[in-house]
Structure 1
Amino acid sequence: MASNAAMPFWRAAGMTYITYSNICANMVRNCLKEPHRSEALNREQVHFVVSKWANGKPQKATIRSDTGEE
């Protein structure tokens, strides 16, 4: 029982720290007043490039985002 008392509550709830951190960040962003809220929501978006490789060389790159847009 002593080991459970020292366990972080996010782990006791069955979450990873990243999941807990993302939930907290979303709550903070949603509590902000405009225009800070929209600025924070824009910064939250992630964009990245995906390249398939064939014969040791990258093929055409595709720009992706976390919203599913291409």
Structure 2
Amino acid sequence: MASSTAAVPFWRAAGMTYITYSNICANLVRNCLKEPHKTEALTREKVHFSLSKWTDGKPQRPTLRSDTPED
């Protein structure tokens, strides 16, 4: 049977990836929470990571990055 007759998830039909769809849903849920739960959830959504540049097969000093703007 051809795969074109299979059901396609609506997020894919809308041109989104699952990660994008999931992030939109998570943001909606976090914004619907009442205080103090909303503030707690919003602080947990922040992501921090480090990047290391590699030169001659060795990592250089890592740089701490964040997906949120710094205040």
Given the two structures, how large is their TM-score scaled by the length of structure 1? 0.85
Bigger strand share: 1
4+ residue segments displaced more than 2 Å: none
Cα distance per residue 1:14-43 (max 9 Å; x no partner): 111111111000000000001111111111
Question: SS where residue 60 of structure 1 aligns?
Answer: coil
Alpha-carbon distance in structure 1 between the residues aligned to 2:69 and 2:32: 25
Given the two structures, how large is their TM-score scaled by the length of structure 2? 0.84
Alpha-carbon distance in structure 2 between the residues aligned to 1:29 and 1:62: 29
Partner of 1:33: 34
Percent of matched pairs sharing the same residue: 75
Alpha-carbon distance in structure 1 between the residues aligned to 2:5 and 2:21: 21
Partner of 2:5: 3
Gaps of 5+ in 2: none
Cα distance per residue 1:11-70 (max 9 Å; x no partner): 11111111111100000000000111111111100000111111111111110000254x
